[in-house]
Structure 1
C-alpha cells in the first residue's frame, strides 16, 4: 500500500509539509513554516515518518521545548507520534497535526479534516471580528462604562468594564498562569508590562462562552498589592490592558489581603453573587472555574514544575463547581493521567468526638497541654474550666508573656485549691519538665493532655480564627514548623501520672461559622 504522511498546520498559515518514508525532515523558524519567533530554533525538531507502521519519530533539538499532545519533549530524546497527534513546534504555540493518507485502520483520528473544521481550541482569532450574541437574562443590566470599586478598605477591588452583563451562568478564571503568563519566563512578573496571553485560543474561547450566555469573571489573589509591593493604581492599568487585549467584557475581582476574599475561601464569589450580579441566582451546575493552582505534582508533564498551590482547585471544590486546568480548558488536554496531590487535611470529612471526661480529676493537679498552635488547647481549656465548675483554671503564656509568670500564677492558684491547666505548646521534655518539677515541689499530681490535631489541621484552625476575626496571637508557618522540629512525644517517664490523647472538638456559634470551618481554607 502506498501511504503518504503530512505535517499540517492547523491554522493553515503555510502549505502542508510532506514527510517522506524514512526520510528525516527538519522543522523550525523558516520561510516554509512562516515562524519568525526568535525563541524557535531554525533546527527546532526533526521528523522521520514510517509510512508502513504509521508513526513519526520526533526529536527536539532546539533550546526551548516542543510539545507533543500537550506534553513538553525532552531535548535529544526520540518520541513516537501517531496519526492525529498534535505537535506544538514551541510548547503551546505553532500547532500542527500529523496525518497519514490513507489513515491506519481502527484509528480514532481517521476522519481528521483540519481544512474543513479546525479543533476549536486552536481557532485563530487575530484580526477577526466575531459577532457575539448574548442570551437575555431577566433583570440583567449591561454596564455602560468602565468602573473600579474598592471594598473593605482595599481588601477587595472590582473592575467592571463596559459591556459586562449579569447571568445565572458564570465562567470564572484565575489570571496569572491561566489567562496570562510572563513574557520574561520568570514565575513572577518583573514589572507591570511583563505579561502576555497564555494560549492562542484564549480570546476565542472567552468569546464562545460569552455567546453561550456566560458572564465572564476573573478571580485573582494579589497579595503584593496588600503588602504595598505593588501600587494599586499601576495594577489597575495592567488589568485594563488585559481586558482590552482579550477584547471581551470580563469582570475582575482582586483579593489583596488574607481575608475571606482570598482563595480558596469563597469571599470573592460571595461578593459576586450578592453585589455584582443584579440579584440573579447563579446556577452552580452550569458554571465553571479554570485555574492553574491545581496541586499537580512535579513532572505532571515532562519538565513541568509542581503547581505553586491548589487554591484554584480547592475554591472550585468549596463552591461545588466544575473545575478545569488551563491546558485542559484552552488546549483540550486530558487530565486523566495527570497526578494531583491532595490536601493534608480535609475539613469536609472531619468528625469531632465527645468531650473526654477523664480530663477532669478529683485530685488537685497540674494538667499540661501539648499541641501545635491552633490545635485547640485554648478551646479545651475553656471546656475544662466550665465543665469542672471552674475547679480548673488555665494559665496561658500568650496572655501572661513568659513561663515564669505562668508558674507564679499557677502557684497562687494551687494555694487557693484550684487545679491548673497549662495552656502552652510545650513541645519538648525541657518545656514540660518545668511543670512536672513544679507539681513535685507543690506535692500535687501532674498529667499531660496531648492534642492529636495534625499540623495541617492546626493551620486550618488558625486560618479559621483569622477569617472569623477571633482574638488570638497571630501565628505564621515558621512557628508551626518550629514546633514540629522541637516536638518529642510526651511520656510518663517525664513524671506525668498519665498522658491522655485528646481529639479537637470544635463547636460553632452559628451555622455560617460551621459552613466556613468545613471549607478548604489552606492553599496547599
Structure 2
C-alpha cells in the first residue's frame, strides 16, 4: 500500500481538476509480461516481482540466474522499471543492462532476460469493468493500447488522458513516475461505441462534468482529513506511556543500512514501550515447496492462518511488532540484498500490517543471539520511547528443541539462537507453536557453555603450588584450542619475565617457529611457544630442540572447551582490540578437536600445568557483551 503525506498548507496550492480521472485510470489498469513461448507473468501496481530461471518463466538456461531481474509496474504512467540482479546481462529492447542497473519499458516494449534471449513483452490493458466505468465520466475512454482507433470507418477523436502526473497534485510523491502522458492514438471498440451524435454527447458531457465535480470535492475532503491527521500526529506531545496508541506513525516506508544491519520501517509503524518481537523464517513464514531452504524468492507462505489476526490484535493493544532475522547468505553472496528486501515487502503486504524489520546481513554484533539488533531498536529506532522489557516478549523457532519434540515433529531445532536471544535480553520467550497455536511448552536444552557463569575470581592454573616462570632457561609449549586464551595469558604472565615469544601466526610456519626457538636457546633465553600443538608430533619438535640445548621443557595445557573457545572467538570479533587475531572458522576448531591427544609426561615434559580461562575486562560494556550467549 502506498502512503501519501499532505500538509494542510500544501492543499491550498493544489489543483484537483483531474485527480478523480487520474486515480480511476490507475485503478482500471492491469499489466502482464508475455513471452514468445506463451509464459505469462502478471504484475501488480507498485509491487516488485523477481524473474529468472524457473517454472514461471519456462527458462532453463543456467546463464539466466534464478534472480535475474526485478520488475516493478507503474500503472499510472504505464511503464515497468526493470533492475538487473543476475551476473549475466539483460537487455531492454537493444540496450544492455549491467548488474544493479535499471531501465524503463512502456507498453509493447521487450525485455530479454539474459544475453538478448528469452524475450518478454509488456502489455498494459484495462481491467474488465472499464467499459462501465468509462460511461460515468467525461472524457473517459478505454486505455487499451491496441490500435483499434485506426481501424474504424469513421474518423474518431481519441481520448487523451490528463498530462499531469502525481507530482502535480502532491509535493512529495511516494514513487518516481514518468512525466510522459499516456498514448492518445489508441482506443478500444468500447470507447468508439461510447460516442453518439453531437447533441446527445453534449447532454452526456454536462452530466459527466457534474459527476466529476462531486468526485473531486469528495477527494478534497478526504485529503483535508488526511492532512489534519498528519499535522496532529507531528505535533503530538503525549507522554511515553501513551505512545502505543497515539504516537506519530512512520509516514513513508524506509530502508536503512547500518554496517551489516539492514532496517526496514514500514509506513504506519508506531513507537511503543511494548515490543512484540518475532523471527521470520519458521516463525512467520515457511516454504511453499516444503523444503528447509527456499528454492526461489517467492517460495514462501504464511506459516499459520492464526498469525495475521494475532499480530493485528497485538497492535490494537499498543504493541509495536518487530521482526528480527539472521540472513548470513547476504554476506556470503548467496542472497542478493535487493531480493530479500522485495521479499520482506511482500510478506508485510500479505499480512497488511505495519511492521519494523531488522536483518543481520552478516557476522558481528547484530547477529542473533547477540543483542545488537535489539540495542539499535531501543537506542535509535523507537523515536526515543524507552522500551519496557518486562512488558515485551520474543517468539522464534530456533529454540533448542530435541528430535521428536512433538508428535509429527521429527527434526530437532537447527539451533537455539532465538531462545538465547530472548535470554540475553531478559525477555519472555515462546515458540511459534506455543504462541500462535497454544501448544504446551516443549523440552529444550541450552548450550553446554554458559558465559554468565564464568567466574572472574577462579584459580588461574593447577596445581596452584607450581610456578608460572623459571629462573633457569626453559621452553614452555602451549596446547589448546584457538581462542582459548593462550596469547592473552602469555602476554600477561610470561613474556614480561623475559621469555622469547614464538607464534606461528606471526612467523608463518612451524619450521620458522622451531628455528626461532633454537636461536633463542643459543642466546641463553627462555622460550614460550604459543601454538595449538594438538598432537605428539607437533610437540616433539620443541621437546627435541630443548633436549638438544640441554634445557627442560614444560607443557601449559589450556583447559577451555571448544564451546568456550568459539564464544571467545566471536567476542573478540565483535570488540575492538590492540592485538590482531586471525579469523578462526569452524573447520579449524574441528580439526584441532579431531587431532587432539592429551599431553603426557612420558613425552619428555618435566611438568604439565592446566591453565584455566579466567576473564578480565577493561570496562563494564565489554563484560556485558562477553556475558551474552553468542552461539546458538
TM over 0.5: yes
1:289-438 superposed matches below 5 A = 289-304=394-409, 305-335=411-441, 338-352=442-456, 353-356=458-461, 358-385=467-494, 389-438=496-545
Q: CA deviation at 1:463?
A: 0.9
Q: CA deviation at 1:355?
A: 4.0
Matched, 1:519 2:628: yes
In the alignment, the residues of structure 1 paired with residue 484 and residue 242 of structure 2 have an alpha-carbon distance, to the nearest angstrom, of 50
TM-superposition CA deviations, 1:246-287 (whole Å, max 9, x none): 111110011110010000001110111111001111100000
1:466-505 superposed matches below 5 A = 466-470=573-577, 471-505=580-614
TM-score normalised by L of structure 2: 0.59
Q: Report the counterpart of residue 328 of structure 2 in structure 1.
A: 223
Q: Report the counterpart of residue 45 of structure 1 in structure 2.
A: none
TM-superposition CA deviations, 1:440-494 (whole Å, max 9, x none): 0011110001011001001111111111144211111111111111111100000
Q: Report the counterpart of residue 260 of structure 1 in structure 2.
A: 365
User: What SS does the aligned partner of 2:308 have?
Assistant: helix
Q: CA deviation at 1:390?
A: 3.1
User: What SS does the aligned partner of 2:453 have?
Assistant: coil
In the alignment, the residues of structure 2 paired with residue 468 and residue 244 of structure 1 have an alpha-carbon distance, to the nearest angstrom, of 38
CA contact (8 A) 1:385 1:393 kept: no
Matched, 1:461 2:557: no
Question: Would you tell me which structure has more helix in proportion to its own residues?
Answer: 2
In the alignment, the residues of structure 2 paired with residue 461 and residue 259 of structure 1 have an alpha-carbon distance, to the nearest angstrom, of 13
Q: CA deviation at 1:412?
A: 2.1
User: What SS does the aligned partner of 1:489 have?
Assistant: coil
Deviates more, 1:405-414 or 1:236-245: 405-414
Among 272, 278, 283, the residue aligned to 1:173: 278
User: What SS does the aligned partner of 2:500 have?
Assistant: strand
User: What SS does the aligned partner of 2:276 have?
Assistant: strand
Q: How many residue pairs end up in the alignment?
A: 384
1:208-219 superposed matches below 5 A = 208-219=313-324
Matched, 1:243 2:348: yes
User: What SS does the aligned partner of 2:616 have?
Assistant: coil
User: What SS does the aligned partner of 1:167 have?
Assistant: coil
CA contact (8 A) 2:424 2:628 kept: yes
1:67-146 superposed matches below 5 A = 136-137=242-243, 140-146=247-253
Q: Which runs of 5+ in 2 are unaligned?
A: 1-237
User: What SS does the aligned partner of 1:284 have?
Assistant: coil
TM-superposition CA deviations, 1:94-146 (whole Å, max 9, x none): xxxxxxxxxxxxxxxxxxxxxxxxxxxxxxxxxxxxxxxx9831894310011
Q: CA deviation at 1:343?
A: 0.4
Q: CA deviation at 1:228?
A: 1.6
Q: Which runs of 5+ in 1 are unaligned?
A: 1-133
In the alignment, the residues of structure 1 paired with residue 247 and residue 478 of structure 2 have an alpha-carbon distance, to the nearest angstrom, of 56
Q: CA deviation at 1:354?
A: 4.2
If you compute each CA radius of gyration, which structure gives the higher value, 1 or 2?
Answer: 2
In the alignment, the residues of structure 2 paired with residue 288 and residue 342 of structure 1 have an alpha-carbon distance, to the nearest angstrom, of 19
User: What SS does the aligned partner of 1:239 have?
Assistant: helix
Question: 4+ residue runs of structure 1 moved beyond 6 angstroms?
Answer: none
CA contact (8 A) 1:346 1:520 kept: yes
User: What SS does the aligned partner of 1:216 have?
Assistant: strand
Q: CA deviation at 1:189?
A: 0.5
TM-score normalised by L of structure 1: 0.71
